[in-house]
Amino acid sequence: MNHRGGLALIIATWSSWLQYRGFFFLLAFGWMIPPLIYLLVWSTAAGERAVAGLGRDDLITYYLVLILVNQLTYAQANWTVGDLIHDGRMNVLLLRPIPPLYDAIASEVAGKVVYLAFDLPVVALLAVLLRPEVRIVPQAVLPFALALVLAWALRFFWGYWLALLAFWTTRSSALLAAQDALVFLLAGLVAPMALLPAWLRGAATLLPFRYMVGFPVEVLTGQVTGAAVAQGFALQAGWLLVALALSAAAWRAGLRHYTAVGG
Amino acid sequence: MIRHMRLIGCFVQASLQEEAAYPANYWVGLAHSLLNLVTGVLGIAVLFGQVETVRGWDFAATLALLGVYLTAGALRGLFIGPSLDALAGMDGEVWSGRLDFTLLRPVDIQFLASFRRWRALALFDVLLGAGILVVAVTQMQAALGPDRLAAFLVALAAGTVILYALLLAGAALVFWSPGTLFTWIFDGLFQLARYPLGLYPGWLRLVLTWIVPVGVITTIPAEALAGTLSPGALAGSAGLAAVLFVAASALFRQAVRRYEGASS
């Protein structure tokens, strides 16, 4: 593996992305809206009295953290992987002496920096406007960081194997859209886990989507504690292994199947 | 007028023939519409599973609002969106300079820009939106009288005109700054119209009523259906629709006059 080349690619992609920051700020704005809507709706609903033990301040803190976590874990590179395969542009990447995975990771790193340059000031402004009383214990920060890294890896590789199905079908972007809908419902965007109806919460606990966004936020805000944290980490790591295995398998089988079109 | 109707018929036919070449798109489109519906309904169901009412909005009224949101979005997807996108979207005619050929056609440019592309699949979205509206009405306490239905239809028409005027103004602004994605900003703000204006904090309510009046598009018709709308608000929304329509048309004409061609 050519890691120095990979690093150079990451830096090059990052510099080139910064030239288009207006465009990427617009994308970040669009992605921020759904969690923002539910932040406002739930904080209004809990304005008079707490909902299922969560008060207005808890909900605002939860969603402000979630806006950042959702952006940090959003694997937008996966949308381009399918296009690369359809257009035959994957040829160029395959000829490089670097695994094409680096290309996806390079745009991931570049994206995170550019999107955060938009998200951080907006979240800070919202915090000033809404003035939530934040209750975060310092001991939760380290587990949060670990859960966040795992969440990014899980969301990235889960999307990556779905995107690699583009080797066989021209409709892999529909799968990514379906994945986004599931994340919206089950990963804590539409409501924190504690507020979901029991049947939906049961599904959310077992399926991988909660561990892509909601779980780190719950760890940081103290909505999940004790044995449930350990269980969450176990499920998160387990799903990550599944996603890694599926990505590797899809890549190997897909490459054998690949024939470029056009040129 | 008859000539314009006949032209719309031609546009619809041409669009349908173009779309029929991509049958697989239908299934993806249908799945996409259903996902949009399910996430919307579940979002409301989760909220009202926890609370009875929020600021005077109960489950039925909020569901009606979702129905209006889906219907307005479907009408946009049926022709307003695709037509204006062909003009001012990414790689649109303003950008590429192909507007030269469109301008030479012997039809009013605003008419042509607003009606020329249709997406048949959006009819399914219209049906879904209408279905949600029917379900919402059956969930409401009071029966729906003819006066409330009439008020609702007026409010819905006004909302659609407001939506059209805002999108037309966005398309016109592209002439001044090509490549700016005004519709993307609008899309983000329009999503806020999924929930009643009353659920948002005061400053945001002001923005969504007076600066970018997307809140008016959905909240007023839903209130009309629920019977909580004052006659003044209904008249106000109709007036706003008329004013925005005239202003956006004037802006669009001004914009077209600025156009100088972009190709070599």
Task: Show residues of chain A in contact with B47, CB under 8 Å.
Answer: 41-42, 45, 191
Q: What is the mean pLDDT of residues B83-90?
A: 84
Q: How many Å apart are CA A6 and CA B264, to the nearest integer?
A: 40
Inter-chain residue contact B188 with A42, CB threshold 8 Å = no
Nearest to B39 among A40, A41, A185 (CB): A185
Task: Show residues of chain B in contact with A45, CB under 8 Å.
Answer: 47, 50-51, 54, 199
Q: What percent of chain B has pLDDT over 90?
A: 52
Least confident of A199-213, B98-112, B126-140: B98-112
- pLDDT band at residue B227, thresholds of 50, 70 and 90? confident
CA distances from A165 to A175, A187, A255, B18 (A): 9, 23, 11, 27
Instruction: Report pLDDT for B160.
Output: 95
Least confident of A31-45, A170-184, B107-121: A170-184
CA distance B28 to chain A (A): 6
* 3-class SS shares of chain B: helix, strand, coil, % to 5: 80, 0, 20
Q: How far is CA A196 from the centre of its chain?
A: 20
What token pair was written down for A99?
């695994």
Q: How many Å apart are CA B52 and CA B56, to the nearest integer?
A: 9
Least confident of A121-135, B66-80, B157-171: A121-135
Q: How many Å apart are CA B261 and CA B256, to the nearest integer?
A: 10
Q: How many Å apart are CA A143 and CA B143, to the nearest integer?
A: 54
The answer to whether residues B86 and B166 touch, using CB atoms and an 8 Å cutoff, is: no
CA distances from B115 to A17, B76, B93, B178, B256 (A): 36, 11, 15, 22, 17
- DSSP H helices, chain A, are 3-18, 21-45, 56-73, 77-87, 90-95, 101-130, 141-164, 172-186, 198-206, 214-221, 227-257
Instruction: Report pLDDT for A99.
Output: 80
Which of A24, A40, A186 to mutate against chain B (most B CBs within 10 Å)? A40
CA distances from A91 to A247, A259, B73, B74 (A): 19, 9, 39, 39
Inform me whether the pLDDT recorded for A52 exceeds 70: yes
Residue with tokens 């990514």: A176
Which distant-in-sequence residues (6+ apart) come within 8 Å of A219 by Cβ?
A: A140, A143, A144, A147, A229, A232
Inform me whether the pLDDT recorded for B264 exceeds 90: no
Q: What is the mean pLDDT of residues A176-200?
A: 91
Task: Decide which of B50 and B19 is more confident.
Answer: B50
Q: How many Å apart are CA B140 and CA B226, to the nearest integer?
A: 7
Which H helix or E strand runs over A139?
none
Inter-chain residue contact B42 with A196, CB threshold 8 Å = no
Kindly report the average pLDDT of chain B as a whole number. 89
Q: Which of A141-155, B11-25, B111-125, B137-151 shows the highest mean pLDDT? A: A141-155
Least confident of A161-165, B130-134, B257-261: B257-261
CA distance A195 to chain B (A): 7
Interface check for B35 against chain A (CB to CB < 8 A): the answer is yes
Query: Taking Cα atoms as reference points, which of B16, B174, B172, B178 lies closest to residue B109?
Result: B172
Q: How far is CA A135 from the centre of its chain?
A: 24
- pLDDT band at residue A22, thresholds of 50, 70 and 90? confident
Inter-chain residue contact B188 with A196, CB threshold 8 Å = no
One-letter amino acid of B226: A
Region at A88 (left for phi over 0; alpha for psi -120 to 50; beta for the rest): left
Coil vs helix vs strand at A22: helix
Q: Is the dihedral of CA B204, B209, B213, B218 positive or negative?
A: positive
Query: Taking Cα atoms as reference points, which of A63, A64, A43, A38 lies closest to residue A55?
Result: A43
- DSSP H helices, B140-230, are 146-176, 182-191, 202-206, 214-226
Q: What is the mean pLDDT of residues A244-252?
A: 93
Inform me whether the pLDDT recorded for B263 exceeds 80: no
Q: Is the dihedral of CA A167, A170, A173, A176 positive or negative?
A: negative
CA distances from B179 to A22, A26, B77, B169, B171 (A): 11, 13, 21, 15, 11
Inter-chain residue contact B47 with A41, CB threshold 8 Å = yes
B54 strand-pairing partners: B57
Instruction: Report pLDDT for A261.
Output: 59
Q: Is the dihedral of CA A55, A56, A57, A60 positive or negative?
A: positive
Instruction: Report pLDDT for B247.
Output: 96
Q: How many Å apart are CA A164 and CA A162, to the nearest integer?
A: 5
B57 strand-pairing partners: B54
Instruction: Report pLDDT for A263.
Output: 47
Inter-chain residue contact A30 with B28, CB threshold 8 Å = no
User: CA-CA-CA-CA torsion for B53, B55, B60, B62, nearest 10 degrees?
Assistant: -130
- pLDDT band at residue A114, thresholds of 50, 70 and 90? confident
Q: What percent of chain B has pLDDT over 70?
A: 98
Q: How far is CA A148 from the centre of its chain?
A: 9
Query: Taking Cα atoms as reference points, which of B60, B86, B105, B96 lies closest to residue B196?
Result: B60
Q: Is the dihedral of CA B143, B149, B155, B159 positive or negative?
A: positive
Q: What is the mean pLDDT of residues B204-232?
A: 91
- pLDDT band at residue B196, thresholds of 50, 70 and 90? very high
Inter-chain residue contact B47 with A197, CB threshold 8 Å = no
Q: Which residues of A66-77 are buried (b: 16+ CB within 10 A; e: fewer)?
A: bbbbbbbbbbbb
Which of A185, A193, A201 to mutate against chain B (most B CBs within 10 Å)? A185
Q: Is the dihedral of CA A205, A209, A211, A214 positive or negative?
A: negative
Inform me whether the pLDDT recorded for B50 exceeds 60: yes
- The predicted-structure confidence for A27-48, as pLDDT tens digits, reads as follows 888 889 999 999 999 999 988 7
Which distant-in-sequence residues (6+ apart) come within 8 Å of B63 by Cβ?
A: B41, B44, B132, B135, B136, B139
- pLDDT band at residue A214, thresholds of 50, 70 and 90? very high
The answer to whether residues B228 and B56 touch, using CB atoms and an 8 Å cutoff, is: yes
CA distance A57 to chain B (A): 15
Q: How many Å apart are CA A169 and CA A163, to the nearest integer?
A: 10
User: Which B-chain residues 167-196 have CB contacts (< 8 A) with chain A?
Assistant: 181, 184-185, 187-189, 191-192, 194-195
- The predicted-structure confidence for B19-40, as pLDDT tens digits, reads as follows 888 777 788 888 889 988 999 9
